[in-house]
Amino acid sequence: MLETAYFLITLNRHTPAEVARLVRRVPGIAEAVVTLGEIDIIAVSQMEGTKGFPALTDQLKNIEGIASVSICVVVRP
């Protein structure tokens, strides 16, 4: 079954549009949008199972300009 996760990304003084373009290039990221407010970018991923989400989080944290990444995995009871 495909699982979905939302990655809430905050930046450290970089242009959100530029960083969102880099986030979209990460394999496993389906979409990345710039938002206004406390969170700068929201990225979405879908994959089989949830085991790949932590590695994806680590990849995102290595992108220049990203200060923090929080992950929210969708739970369907």
Query: Average pLDDT in the 60-66 region?
Result: 97
pLDDT, tens only, 9-40: 999 988 999 999 999 999 999 999 999 999 99
pLDDT digit string, tens, across residues 37-61? 999 999 999 999 999 999 999 999 9
The total number of structural domains in the chain stands at 1
Report the C-alpha dihedral over residues 20, 32, 26, 49, rounded to 10 degrees. Answer: 150
Is residue 77 scored above 90 in pLDDT? no
Domain of residue 20, residue span: 2-73
Report the CATH number that the domain containing residue 69 is assigned in CATH: 3.30.70.920
What's the alpha-carbon Rg for the chain, to the nearest Å? 12
Tokens, residue 73:
């995995």
Q: Whole-model pTM above 0.85?
A: yes
Q: How many CA atoms lie within 13 A of 13 on its CB side?
A: 0
